[in-house]
Chains A and B, each alone.
Chain A
Amino acid sequence: KAGVTQTPRYLIKTRGQQVTLSCSPISGHRSVSWYQQTPGQGLQFLFEYFSETQRNKGNFPGRFSGRQFSNSRSEMNVSTLELGDSALYLCASSYRDGNYNEQFFGPGTRLTVL
């Protein structure tokens, strides 16, 4: 079974631009979570989608948004990029709903904002 895939793997943008990152979960997984990893803050939860609905959101500004499609693929968007948005963005998928769920991560998208 193919793992979680994320595209693109690397991205360079300038301040003020916007960016869209894509995530394809493991086949059959309906829950997709997004995380931001930075050296200073570690791994921080952004949001989670299940059946095309955002069920949970972390403590990030409204510039960070996402969506999920009917095939469970998900995208996240960051508008008006700031230097501090430079990070590794990770997507994770999960099979079961509810608690006691392992999340399986993709390789991440490395975003650099200049």
Chain B
Amino acid sequence: DQQVKQNSPSLSVQEGRISILNCDYTNSMFDYFLWYKKYPAEGPTFLISISSIKDKNEDGRFTVFLNKSAKHLSLHIVPSQPGDSAVYFCAASAGAGGTSYGKLTFGQGTILTVHP
């Protein structure tokens, strides 16, 4: 039962253009969402997050959009740079307490390649 899904295994974008990475979830208890970037042989690096009380959060070139009714979130990177080439994971957590403590549920990841 995959509660967080990233349906695009890979995405290829030209430098300077927008990268849009998508994520869908099924668990309506999820109320906090995060995006991580991962390079080979390294741990995931936190990029940006959004709580369910918001529908948008921006940090520099990164913007995350949340559509709760569609159970969908997306990460926009503008402009894309070759150094952004990595695997991107979306993750979700469901409140605090009980079976939620310290638990992030991850999608399968999307490989982003930004061409110069």
Contact = CB atoms under 8 A, between A and B. Distances in A.
Tell me, yes or no, whether A binds B: yes
B108 interface: yes
Interface residues of A, number: 32
A106 B43 CA distance: 5
Contacts of A4: 43
Contacts of B32: 99-101
A40 to B, nearest CB: 10
Contacts of B45: 105
A55 interface: yes
Residue of B99, B101, B103, B107 with highest tally of chain A CB at under 10 A: B101
B41 interface: yes
A31 B43 contact: no
Interface string B3-46: 00000000000000000000000000001101010000111111
Interface in A57-114: 58, 90, 92, 94, 97-108, 110
Contacts, number: 77
A108 B40 CA distance: 11
Contact of A48 (B42, B95, B102): B102
A99 B100 contact: yes
Contacts of A35: 104, 106
B20 to A, nearest CB: 21
B43 A50 contact: no
Contacts of A48: 101-103
Interface string B55-88: 0000000000000000000000000000000000
